[in-house]
Chain A
Amino acid sequence: MNTLITSLLVLAGLLVGVYAIAVLQQLLLLGPRQVGAAFQLPIAQALLLLHQEDVLPAGADFFLFRSAPFIALSVVALTALVLPLGPRLIGFDPSIGLFYFIVLLSPFVVAMMNAGWSQNAKVGLFATFRAAAYLISYEVPFGFAAIGPVMAAQSLSTERIVQSQAGLWYVVWQPLGLLIYLFAALFVTFRHPFDSAMAGSELEGGVFAEYSGPRLLLFKVALDALFLLLMGMGVVLFFGGWQGPFLPAPLWFVLKTFALAALVLWATRFVPRLRPDQILSLSWKILLPASLLNITLVGILTLLLTGGNP
């Protein structure tokens, strides 16, 4: 019973969060800012997609095509369990929470690949190649960037990482780690500068080219929810999680998460979309060495600041 309540709460929270992210995106669009429309448009789009016919392409893989959106959403819901909203306010607290989070991101990309491959179309297949190539190239910098806070906190538990930042947020002395983390997070969610796996203009929607109606809605919800979760994990790792004066802990966490999301969404507006080869060379030639450098720096600083004791 407890499990059921937790899962329902997680799903409801994710839906509300996705709505908020969609509103935020509308507010941050270029051009005249229309606040009323920004709040109504996401709902209208969702209703539109629910109304739309669910088109199944001829020759599509029966099982994979249908199951891919559900796999994506369920993986996202599972990763949401390990985010601590407050002290002891967490869905599932294994001692390796952060590792669990990172590991569950690869099944998400599997779902994306299945979506691209199963639709029996060329654009989807090309998008699949891109998605898989990004998966391989984001995973390493992502893991290395997340190792910084783990080294400092000497724990993989998300709660412990937050508690160890009571004095000083890790962003203060690990800014490079935050930067790499944010880049990798944009990779994972196929967000704007790295969205060529679902590029609207060249691949006609990429892995979503043949999806329509409720299935497409599920995919979009999963992507936005994953972005929100990654920002939340960024807050946990670098911005002290729920900690803050005066306000209750969960509110602090939500505020920080949306502030980080707004910052990232605003900053990426100024970057043009990168080509796949540029994305890959950014990952392997810049992010990977930078993350190794980050680990070295964090190791030295950890010894200097804490003397080896957390």
Chain B
Amino acid sequence: MNGVLEWIIFLSLSLVAIITAAGMLLTMSMYRAGLALMASFVALAGLFILLGADLLAAIQIMMNVGGMLVMVLFMVMMMMDPGGEMMWAMKRDMHLPGPGAFSMHMPWHKPPEEQPAQQETAASEWTCPMHPEVSQPGPGSCPKCSMSLIPRAEMTGEEASHGHGTDTPGEVYTCPMHPEVQQALPGTCPKCSMILIPIETPQPAQASESTVYNCPMHPEVQQTQPGKCPKCSMALIPAEKTMQSHEAQGQQGMSMDHVVSSEHMMYVETESDGTGSPGRMQHEHDMQVKPAGASDNADSMQIPDHNMPISAMGHSEHTMQMADHEMQMPGPVENDQTAQMGGHSMEMSHEMNMGGMTPRQHYQMMVDMAMSTAQLPWAIVLGALSAILLIVLIVLTPWPLAHAVPNQDATTAVGELLLSRYMIAFEGAAFLILTAIAGAVIFARRERALAQVELEQLQPVAAEAVGQEEYTCPMHPEVRQSQPGTCPKCSMSLIHVEKSSAASGDARGHEGHGEHGGHV
């Protein structure tokens, strides 16, 4: 083999090794990450063959390709999403930064502060999505199921929209990732086991005559009943032929607005460069309504794309005004919860451009989706430093074979030298990995401790605001007073209880909070 060819092979093999190693770090798919690592090791083995170390190359291939293969096998069998497609779709739908196929990394900036001012009234109470009786004044985890708590306002908003579902029978639950999953009861998605969210389809009883279902692929298929297309067995989607009066659709339109504003805000916001005002939004809606409103069935194709029933769109103006109205005087009005929620999320998103999520939640989601830890920059710096150190070592230390005579022992000497240096590099890498793991654990602990401290600082303030102490009967826990005395039922003397422990008591629930808020 002559020198030029050797150089070409060397350069291409090292290029492949480096590119595939980077690909392993960057790809969103577990399977591809395993394959990329395998390819990197094989390219390294090619370099060993080029250096005349055949045994080392063979061992490299056998150990690493075999090991990676087992790893890939278990990834494919055990992982929920080995191809990374779900993450990819999530990233695309939420307009998160970075190219789609690449894995997400930790957000660089600091976590934003908790929501100020206008959320205070709504979100000062946090509750468990599963156990509504749990309530506490700050974020945390549920004492019953250790799910993370959500603000009470979200909960009640959801409940209110559920309430709508009972009198409009068209409410279905769907997966945020798989819109084809639709069922009548809440639950989890069979594909990705995310929690299903409610959407409402316009099929009220009085409107069934004017509702036509057609296939997204075959516009000539039209039915008055929902079902599947006889040609391609896709689920039929509703298309309205006649628009209905404001009065008939007012209520539904409002709850529709909740869906629209919280889920499709992102769409509108990106179109309007983040400066979207309600008026601008309405403009966007109207633009979408026009082709569909012209009762052209083929145009209804664009509607399922945004999950937006046409009946709601015709009244976006109405609901927008309502949302505006509610924004000016926020407060939990029971009947207009959804409208209030709609206005609320809209307000947030046209400030933060995050579509229905507080910046804190958005940040938390970025952290959850990230495939690296916050210590990645440190790892990169350490890796680069150690690579430089190794190169310097190899260049500066005398190369013992520079003046060697090419005799029988020369290859053996090269092999031994290579083995020793390779082992140094290998063990150095292992040491770095161990350091990184230890560092990650330590940092993670510290972050958690900081979060704990924050939480503790938050809680006493809220508890003080509500009232520090109260008295209850040892026999009748439902008896509660703010002053010591005797139980009206059994006239035992009341005992003192801590406010925070009482907060998790299910006897009180939401109303109790409101009542005690009045004491202060």
Contacts and interface: CB of A to CB of B under 8 A. Distances in A.
A95 B76 contact: no
A64 interface: yes
A113 B55 contact: no
B61 A129 contact: no
B100 to A, nearest CB: 14
Nearest to A95: B54
Interface in A61-100: 64, 94-96, 99-100
Interface stretch (A7-15, A104-112, A233-241): A104-112
B3 to A, nearest CB: 14
B392 interface: no
A interface majority secondary structure: helix
B interface majority secondary structure: helix
A132 B58 contact: no
A103 B77 contact: no
B1 interface: yes
Given A106-B62, A107-B61, A129-B76, A64 B35 contact: yes
A243 interface: no
A103 B62 contact: yes
Contacts of A109: 69
Contacts of B61: 103-104, 106-107
A128 interface: yes
B469 to A, nearest CB: 62
A213 B58 CA distance: 34
Interface string B27-51: 0000110010010001000000000
Given A96-B58, A100-B58, A106 B65 contact: yes
A129 B55 CA distance: 30
Nearest to B55: A96
B437 interface: no
Contacts of B54: 94-96, 100
Contacts of B388: none
Nearest to B70: A136
A96 B61 CA distance: 13
A110 B69 contact: yes
Interface string B326-354: 00000000000000000000000000000
Contacts of A95: 54-55
Interface string A128-155: 1100110110010000000000000000
A309 interface: no
A220 B340 CA distance: 65
Q: How large is the interface on B (under 10, 10 to 19, 20 to 34, 35 or more residues)?
A: 10 to 19
Nearest to B29: A61
A114 interface: yes
B232 to A, nearest CB: 14
A117 interface: yes
Given A99-B58, A117-B31, A107 B65 contact: yes
A133 B62 CA distance: 16
Contacts of B35: 64, 110, 114
B179 to A, nearest CB: 17
B76 A135 contact: no
Given A96-B55, A136-B70, A107 B76 contact: no
Contact of B69 (A3, A96, A113, A125): A113
A64 B65 CA distance: 16
A104 B42 CA distance: 10
A128 B76 contact: yes
Interface string A248-286: 000000000000000000000000000000000000000
B42 A107 contact: yes
B73 interface: yes
A132 B67 CA distance: 12
Interface string B173-186: 00000000000000
Contact of A125 (B42, B58, B70, B76): B76
A202 B381 CA distance: 52
B72 to A, nearest CB: 7
A295 B61 CA distance: 24
B17 to A, nearest CB: 16
A3 B35 CA distance: 29
A63 to B, nearest CB: 9
Contacts of A99: 55, 58, 62
Contacts of B58: 96, 99-100, 103
Interface in A35-64: 64
Contacts of B31: 117
B83 to A, nearest CB: 8
A291 to B, nearest CB: 17
A183 B1 CA distance: 39
Interface in B51-101: 54-55, 58, 61-62, 65-66, 69-70, 72-73, 76-77
B88 to A, nearest CB: 12
A16 to B, nearest CB: 28
A112 to B, nearest CB: 11
With a 10 A CB-CB cut-off, give which of B55, B58, B61, B76 has the most chain A CB atoms: B58
A106 B66 contact: yes
Nearest to B49: A94
Contacts of B62: 99, 102-103, 106
14 contacts: A64-B32, A64-B35, A95-B55, A99-B58, A100-B54, A102-B62, A103-B58, A103-B61, A110-B69, A114-B35, A128-B76, A132-B72, A136-B73, A139-B66
Interface of B: 1, 31-32, 35, 38, 42, 54-55, 58, 61-62, 65-66, 69-70, 72-73, 76-77
- By Cβ-Cβ distance, the 8 closest A-B pairs, closest first, are A94-B54, A132-B73, A103-B62, A103-B58, A103-B61, A99-B58, A106-B65, A96-B55
